[in-house]
Structure 1
Amino acid sequence: MKVGLIQQANGGDIASNMQRLATKIRRVARDGAELIVLQELHNGLYFCQTEDV
């Protein structure tokens, strides 16, 4: 089984993060990945990078 791993730096714009992620998913799928593993908290910033009082 071919596995694709995706790790990316995210910003505060979730739509932009998701678009870049979708592009990368399509790329690794096109390269033959049958299982694609994303980073934890893959669509936004880590909780410790934002403050919501």
Structure 2
Amino acid sequence: MDMSGINGNYNAWIKNISNSISKGIIIVIDYGYHAREYYLDDRNTGTLFV
């Protein structure tokens, strides 16, 4: 089973932020993994961490 840390509310989140500002920019950074790291056997509970 593949597990990922995907935010299902991403589009609503971006829309909410963009409606909250009148001027400026929004910078979103996605810290992705290379495939060889993403599919490691010891990463069987997903990739989300804090």
Structure exhibiting the larger radius of gyration computed from Cα positions? 2
| Superposition TM-score, scaled by structure 2 size | 0.40
**Which structure has more RCO (C-alpha within 8 Å, separation ≥ 6)?**
2
More helix by proportion, 1 or 2? 1
Higher strand share: 1
